[in-house]
Amino acid sequence: MLWRLLGLKARLLILLAVIAFFVWASYWLWESIEATAQLIGERSFFIEQTKIGWWTAVFYATEVTPSLGIAFRWIAALLALYSASIFVRSNVGFTSKAGKAIRAALLFEGLNYLTMIPVVISGFTFPFSGELWYYGATPGIVVLLLNGVATLATVVIVPFFVFKLRSKIVLGTPDQEIVKWACLTGAAYLFVFWFVYTISWMASLVPWSARAQPGLRLLLNPLDLASFTLTVFFLLIVVLYGWTVLISSAKRQIPPSPRSIGIILTSLGMYFMLTLIIFLLYGGYHAHPTVWMEILGPYHNPDLWCIGLIPAGLYFATSKH
């Protein structure tokens, strides 16, 4: 495989990206523990608000079950960090030394997404079930778009490819077949990134008087327009380029060129860095409380670790070797 040819500098940059993944997963784990403790500690308030028994159950499953998924992802990140440390020390015999950790990491990563199933249920029940409470007067269309449509795509697409890749590794299939499913898994992640964040922007264009959402007029703000353009169009270009590279490699069952991988990683990392800069320029969610700003903020965004892909991406994109 191509990874056997990587030098020490390349392996160290890959380790840096994995460290970013682990640090962000650790931060999210801490935040989820605090949020879950609050939901349990203030359960009398939430039970009083939700009122209807079945909706109380769905609400708590929606809010608490994904916290278990965050714990699963933290375990996956820890296993990835362990595997990357082995890779840095020696890429000879890497598969035999880190194979169990890699298989376990993929298992927990896939389980992370499956814990979002209750979110999907709430997304397709809340908008059509009359007067239900969900954090105040939340528009039904917003819940449908975020909890329903966006999360459904995530739950259906990502685990399928992650578990398929894991099964190929477990069965000891030839390297070419593993390369194929690794490329397809990467393509699936890219699509889900674009789809989820685009749907999130659509939810931000829903008029909502309790928030800073006047509808389409929101795009008259230069910073909102810049963030919208980055998400809907720039990230789509990244996805289309990534699909061209990864699906072509999957068909031929050969690794993509390091330069192509570098361009994908750099572009993806730059997207998250630029959107985070816009978030900071606004002064955060409380200064501009739209759906998009809430999702983009560190408390609600599990993907900001992708900024850590930039160093490795630049190295691969510019390397002449």
Q: Is 256 helix (H, G, I), strand (E, B) or coil?
A: coil
| Residue recorded with tokens 């528009």 | 139
Confidence grade of residue 4 (pLDDT, cut at 50, 70, 90): low
**CB 205 within 8 Å of CB 141:** no
Q: How far is CA 204 from the centre of its chain?
A: 19
Average pLDDT, the chain: 93
Q: How many helices (H) and strands (E) does the chain have?
A: 13, 0
pLDDT-wise least confident of 5-14, 39-48, 281-290: 5-14
Of 66-80, 91-105, 160-174, highest mean pLDDT: 66-80
Q: Is 300 helix (H, G, I), strand (E, B) or coil?
A: coil
Confidence grade of residue 5 (pLDDT, cut at 50, 70, 90): low
Q: Rounded to whole angstroms, how far apart are CA atoms 226 and 231?
A: 9
Q: What is the per-residue pLDDT across 50-66, written as a single tens digit (0 to 9) for each?
A: 989 999 999 999 999 99
Percentage of the chain modeled with pLDDT above 90: 82
Q: Is 283 exposed, middle or buried (0-12, 13-18, 19+ CB in 10 A)?
A: exposed
**Which pLDDT value is given to residue 91?**
63
**Rg value, the chain, Cα:** 21
pLDDT at 321 over 80: no
pLDDT-wise least confident of 129-138, 199-208, 234-243, 262-271: 129-138
**Which pLDDT value is given to residue 137?**
82
| Residue recorded with tokens 């030839």 | 174
pLDDT-wise least confident of 33-37, 77-81, 180-184, 316-320: 316-320
Q: Rounded to whole angstroms, how far apart are CA atoms 310 and 47?
A: 45
Q: Rounded to whole angstroms, how far apart are CA atoms 170 and 69?
A: 22
Report, as an integer, the average pLDDT of 300-316: 95
**CB 249 within 8 Å of CB 255:** yes
Residue 291 contacts by C-beta under 8 Å, 6 or more apart in sequence? 142, 146, 200, 203, 204, 206, 208, 211, 213
Confidence grade of residue 235 (pLDDT, cut at 50, 70, 90): very high
Report, as an integer, the average pLDDT of 264-281: 96
Percentage of the chain modeled with pLDDT above 70: 97
Residue 215 φ/ψ region, left for φ over 0, alpha for ψ in the -120 to 50 degree band, beta for the rest: left
Report, as an integer, the average pLDDT of 120-145: 92
Q: What is the per-residue pLDDT across 170-186, written as a single tens digit (0 to 9) for each?
A: 988 888 999 999 999 99
Q: Residue 282 has which token pair?
A: 């606004």
Higher pLDDT among residues 94 and 57, named by residue: 57
Bridge partners for 26 per DSSP: none
**Which pLDDT value is given to residue 1?**
52
Comparing C-alpha atoms, which of 109, 82, 106, 104 is closest to residue 94?
Answer: 82
Q: Is 301 helix (H, G, I), strand (E, B) or coil?
A: coil
Report, as an integer, the average pLDDT of 270-298: 93
Report, as an integer, the average pLDDT of 119-138: 91
* Percent helix, percent strand, percent coil in the chain, to nearest 5: 80, 0, 15
pLDDT at 3 over 60: no
Q: Rounded to whole angstroms, how far apart are CA atoms 37 and 127?
A: 27
Q: Residue 234 has which token pair?
A: 């720039």
Q: What is the per-residue pLDDT across 95-109, written as a single tens digit (0 to 9) for each?
A: 777 889 999 999 999
